Chains A and B, each alone.
Chain A
């Protein structure tokens, strides 16, 4: 072939591809909301106020946790149970009221999602005696809500090992 390349052309090409990959990966990870999500919630809900100061039980809002595989996010009605009669108005509470009055559910940004092929069930873990904070961290002290753990498989398996629960793949991956 007649193409004559300089000696460093190959290295430059390789570097270029890696840089492009990094740039694309950066933008991709933006979308995953993992690292950045907590700044992007439609309303700056503070667990520290609700779970911490007001000592509201986790299950009051996340009602599915002890009866369902999914803990579930509370219906807007639950928020309004208190907020419809509170006199304090902050810009964030105003946002809540706007959603309620427009009859729109609040489009929370997902912080983390287990893939489809993982069948995790909250109910089972609560029955086993775990507390919400065991996995989700000291939520009552969080004003934003970053992930408390990686929620990756290794993290799950280590806890299963410690507690002598099933480590068989087909327990969760089916």
Chain B
């Protein structure tokens, strides 16, 4: 191996980012189920969802605009924005939420003590707390992904951009003495999305799909005025 630190490959660090094209998104929610399957997200059940405890690392926010017959149904996938200036990071007393050198907003489960200040601070409400111990009726637990930690009660969790897939690709790339190539990493949501509304890649690579989409005219940041500097660029729906 030419380089020792998988986060410091030749050519500079990675900066993972995503583009969400709202003109392509149809709200089919394939991404939501794909994420649940990949990341061992607990099944909350009816009562817990009623209490607002449902965990969806990616969710489809929907808005109704206007009245019949001019009613419009609009939606956007919302997931952790991996903000460059994340409001959730400075407030963690045990440094469980922090920003990695490769642009991810990390949540380290074994550090988390359940203060929940981070979840409170997130303007996108994309941080979810495990109020209860997760449970799967046997043998549903046979499906659990061994590459992803199963979070226990008392721990905050959120989208990780499928960091397990990122690390696996980084390891392979490191073994082959190269950088990760564009398109080599697809988080579960990106991989499943039929319309290709979700695109993931290295923002530091000017040739990557995501870097090019970020420069698109239709691009905007979710709640951009808050100054969180998200790693995700949304592309406005064209009229």
Pair B106/A165 contact, Cβ less than 8 Å: no
B109 to A117, Cβ gap below 8 A? Answer: yes
Residues of A within 8 A of B171 (CB): 121, 123-124, 127
Give the size of the chain A interface in residues (CB under 8 angstroms).
Answer: 20
Tell me the minimal C-beta distance from B129 to chain A in angstroms: 17
A164 CB within 8 Å of chain B? yes
* Total cross-chain contacts (CB, 8 A): 63
CB pair B149 A116 closer than 8 Å: yes
- Do residues B149 and A169 form an inter-chain contact, with CB atoms below 8 A? no
Contact across chains for A115 and B110 when beta carbons are under 8 A apart = yes
Report the bound CA distance from A139 to B4 in whole Å: 26
The answer to whether the Cβ of A119 comes within 8 Å of any Cβ in the partner chain is: yes
Interface of B is mostly: loop
A 118-155 binary contact with B (CB < 8 Å = 1; else 0): 01010110011100000000000000000000000000
* Total residues of chain B contacting the partner, CB 8 A: 27
Query: Which of chain B's residues 94-121 have a Cβ closer than 8 Å to chain A?
Result: 98, 100-102, 104, 106, 108-111
Beyond A117-B109, A174-B164, whether A127 also contacts B1 by CB under 8 A is yes
Best-surrounded residue of A116, A123, A163, A164 (most CB of chain B within 10 A)? A116
B156 → chain A closest CB, angstroms: 13
State whether the Cβ of A89 lies closer than 8 Å to any Cβ in chain B. no
Whether A164 and B106, one on each chain, are in contact in the complex, defined by CB atoms closer than 8 angstroms, is no
CA distance A170 to B102 in the complex (A): 10
A169 / chain B contacts, CB cutoff of 8 Å: 98, 100, 106, 108, 111
Is B81 among interface residues, defined by CB-CB distance under 8 A?
Answer: no
B149 touches A117 (CB 8 A): yes
Q: Is A171 an interface residue (CB 8 A)?
A: yes
A116 to B151, CA, bound (A): 9
B44 interface residue, CB < 8 Å from A? no
Q: Residue among A121, A123, A168 with the most chain B CB within 10 A? A: A168
- CB of B91 within 8 A of chain A? no
For B164, give the chain A residue with the smallest CB separation. Answer: A174
Give chain B's interface residues, CB within 8 Å of chain A.
1, 4-8, 98, 100-102, 104, 106, 108-111, 147-150, 160, 163-164, 167, 171, 174-175
Interface CB pairs A-B, < 8 A, 27:
A116-B150, A117-B109, A119-B167, A124-B171, A127-B171, A127-B175, A128-B1, A129-B1, A165-B4, A165-B5, A166-B5, A168-B7, A168-B102, A169-B98, A169-B106, A169-B108, A170-B104, A170-B108, A171-B6, A171-B167, A173-B108, A173-B109, A173-B110, A173-B111, A174-B108, A174-B163, A174-B167
The 5 A-B pairs at the shortest CB distance, nearest first, are namely A170-B106, A174-B163, A117-B149, A117-B110, A127-B175
